[in-house]
Amino acid sequence: MTQSQMMPALTQQMQDCIEACMNCHSMCEEAMSSCMQKGGQPQMQVMRALMDCSEMTRMCADMMMRRSRMSAEMCTLCAKVCEMCAEACMSMPDDQQMMRCAEACRRCAETCRAMAGAGM
C-alpha cells in the first residue's frame, strides 16, 4: 500500500492553515525572545500568552499533518488561543515585533476557524 492510499492528500485549505500555524508559532517564539530581553512584570502576562500560543499552533499543525481525528476540535481551540495572544500582543502597541505577532495570530485564528468549520 502506498502512502497516498493510506492517507488522503492535504487540501489547499489544510495546507494554508498549517502554514499559518507554523508562521504564528515562529512569530510567537521571536516575540518571546524580545519580551525576555525587556523583562519586567507587564511582559509576564504577554509571555504566558505567547508560550500558550506557540505550543498550541505547533501542536495544531502537527495534528493536521498527521490527519488526526481531533484536528477540527484542535483548530477551534487554537483559534481561541491565537485571539487571546493577539490581544495580549496589542497591549504593547509601540512594539513592532508584537504588532507583527498579533497580525500572525489573527491570521492563524481565521484559518483555524475556517478549518474547524470545514469539519475535516
Q: Alpha-carbon distance 21 to 18, whole Å?
A: 5
Cell of 5: 492510499
The per-residue pLDDT for range 27-61, each reduced to its tens digit, is: 999 999 888 887 666 678 899 999 999 999 999 99
Model pTM score: 0.88
